């Protein structure tokens, strides 16, 4: 017998609880297709904002997931999320993840599988330009690093990128309607459409409307330990990455450029009454040579940085916040998604699955409007050998 969840879905339950809390349901369940009462919507809008709602839901999801986990302690070190801007016109370049401030120990290896699923919606137009980014991008990155000596590590990242119409439009439209947040035009666009297009001076400079996936641009990474004081819980590392043009740029799997990134990562731990905490950050420069995506408008160098904090209330559970930012990748445009500074907020946590394996779960929100995807669901499994 197949299970069915019509109106008893999580969204339906939340909806009816909200209606009941403000006295609008009359004690009877309300169908998902029914409009959400304006009076009830206003009452909840006074209590919670869009970013707060997404953050609350994510924290609850992490805690609920943790509730089903075995209580055997599996300690792990606090580390930043392996995140980058998943905007389809940015993820093609060698913008690196921040990485931790400690390199892999000598003779030890780490394997990481990271899945990012992003929903994009931008529709801007002017007398000279038109930009539409409507679709969902999934990026699976398999990577590893190995410690050579006490202070050096070498690694590699191999991404698989898929662009498609996706499945999140309905959920996001209902979510925004539930809390009365602006849709930004998403509700008027074709549902679950893929269209990435940039038109300038009457000429299509970029056009992608066919779903598909393929190998992205492979990167080789390296790290050098500059400072490591375990007693004072402080560390600093110099990191570098070389991205090669292995992905097809016409399908936005890659950029066609060879990119080099150099950055410094630092972290500091400290004691809190209810468990250890930590701060981590990174800052660096990305330089790009060649390329086939909007080449005439692309900057040749981009600055980037990241800052975050974590708290471990339990040995096997951490809660983390992180902000990733970078300077614009493009110029000569009036549109924010191309020519503005970008910043995104990630909120989530880490679960210790075993002595050598942990799982990162996070959701990201664009802080600088439309310069990053509306929402990205981030999952990363790390195993150490």
pLDDT in tens, 254-296: 999 999 999 999 999 999 888 999 999 999 999 999 899 999 9
Please indicate, yes or no, whether residues 78 and 175 belong to a single structural domain of this protein: yes
Which of 51, 45, 92, 102 lies closest to 323 in space, CA to CA?
A: 51
Given this model, what pLDDT does residue 49 score? 44
Q: What is the pLDDT of residues 230-255, one digit of tens each?
A: 888 999 999 999 999 999 999 999 99
In this structure, the chain runs to a length of: 385
> How far apart are the C-alpha atoms of 106 and 259, rounded to whole Å?
28
Please indicate, yes or no, whether residues 372 and 295 belong to a single structural domain of this protein: yes
Q: Check pLDDT > 80 for residue 169.
A: no
Mean pLDDT of 78-101: 95
Residue 3 domain-assigned?
no
Which of 257, 149, 93, 186 lies closest to 195 in space, CA to CA?
A: 186
Please indicate, yes or no, whether residues 28 and 100 belong to a single structural domain of this protein: no
Residue 33 domain-assigned?
yes
Residue 374 domain-assigned?
yes
Domain count, the chain: 2
Given this model, what pLDDT does residue 61 score? 52
Please indicate, yes or no, whether residues 306 and 271 belong to a single structural domain of this protein: yes
Residue 2 domain-assigned?
no
Given this model, what pLDDT does residue 171 score? 77
Q: Check pLDDT > 80 for residue 7.
A: no
Sign for the CA dihedral angle at 156, 162, 167, 171 comes to positive
Residue 195: helix, strand or coil by DSSP?
strand
CATH code, domain carrying 269: 2.40.160.40
Residue 83 domain-assigned?
yes
Please indicate, yes or no, whether residues 237 and 311 belong to a single structural domain of this protein: yes
Please indicate, yes or no, whether residues 104 and 234 belong to a single structural domain of this protein: yes
Please indicate, yes or no, whether residues 24 and 67 belong to a single structural domain of this protein: no
Sign for the CA dihedral angle at 179, 183, 187, 192 comes to negative
Place of tokens 């560390």: 235
Please indicate, yes or no, whether residues 175 and 41 belong to a single structural domain of this protein: no
Q: What is the pLDDT of residues 350-385, one digit of tens each?
A: 999 988 999 999 999 889 888 999 889 999 999 998
Please indicate, yes or no, whether residues 136 and 63 belong to a single structural domain of this protein: yes
pTM: 0.81
Angle (CA) 75 76 80, round 5°: 150
Provide the domain limits for residue 74.
50-384
Please indicate, yes or no, whether residues 33 and 73 belong to a single structural domain of this protein: no
Q: Check pLDDT > 50 for residue 21.
A: no
Q: Check pLDDT > 50 for residue 47.
A: no
What are the residues whose beta carbons fall under 8 Å from the beta carbon of 67, sequence distance 6 or more? none
* Counts of helices then strands in the chain (DSSP H, E): 5, 15
Please indicate, yes or no, whether residues 371 and 247 belong to a single structural domain of this protein: yes
Please indicate, yes or no, whether residues 37 and 146 belong to a single structural domain of this protein: no
Alpha helices (runs of H) in the chain, residue ranges in sequence order: 10-21, 38-45, 50-67, 169-179, 336-339
Which of 318, 384, 319, 320 lies closest to 357 in space, CA to CA?
A: 384
């Amino acid at each position: 017998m197949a299970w069915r969840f019509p109106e008893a879905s999580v969204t339906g339950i939340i909806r009816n609880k909200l209606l009941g809390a403000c006295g609008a349901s009359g004690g009877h369940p309300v169908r998902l297709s029914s409009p959400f009462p304006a009076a009830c919507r206003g009452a909840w809008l006074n209590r919670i904002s869009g970013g707060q709602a997404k953050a609350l839901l994510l924290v609850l999801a992490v805690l609920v997931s943790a509730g089903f986990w075995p209580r055997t302690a599996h300690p792990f070190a606090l580390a930043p999320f392996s995140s980058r801007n998943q905007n389809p016109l940015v993820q093609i370049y060698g913008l690196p993840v921040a990485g931790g401030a400690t390199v892999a120990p000598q003779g030890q290896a780490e394997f990481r599988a990271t899945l990012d699923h992003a929903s994009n919606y931008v529709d801007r137009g002017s007398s000279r330009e038109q930009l539409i980014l409507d679709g969902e991008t999934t990026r699976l990155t398999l990577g590893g690093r190995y410690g050579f000596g006490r202070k050096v590590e070498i690694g590699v990242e191999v991404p698989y990128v898929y662009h498609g119409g996706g499945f999140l439009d309905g959920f996001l439209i209902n979510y925004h309607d539930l809390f009365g947040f602006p849709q930004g035009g998403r509700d008027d666009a074709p549902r679950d459409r893929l269209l990435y297009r940039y038109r300038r001076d009457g000429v299509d400079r970029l056009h992608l409307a066919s779903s598909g996936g393929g190998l992205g641009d492979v990167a080789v990474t390296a790290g050098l330990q500059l400072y490591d004081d375990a007693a004072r819980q402080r560390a600093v590392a110099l990191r570098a990455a070389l991205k090669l043009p292995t992905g097809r740029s016409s399908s936005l799997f890659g950029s066609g450029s060879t990119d080099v990134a150099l950055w410094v990562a630092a972290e500091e731990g400290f004691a809190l009454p209810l468990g250890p905490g930590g701060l981590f950050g990174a800052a660096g420069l990305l330089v790009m040579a060649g390329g086939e995506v909007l080449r005439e408008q692309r900057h040749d160098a981009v600055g980037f940085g990241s800052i975050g904090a974590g708290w471990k209330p339990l040995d096997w559970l951490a809660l983390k916040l992180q902000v990733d930012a970078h300077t614009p990748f493009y110029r000569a445009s009036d549109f924010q998604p191309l020519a503005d500074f970008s910043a995104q907020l990630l909120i989530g946590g880490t679960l210790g699955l075993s002595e050598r394996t942990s799982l990162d779960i996070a959701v990201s929100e664009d802080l600088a409007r439309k310069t990053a995807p509306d929402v990205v669901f981030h999952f990363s499994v790390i195993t150490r050998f």
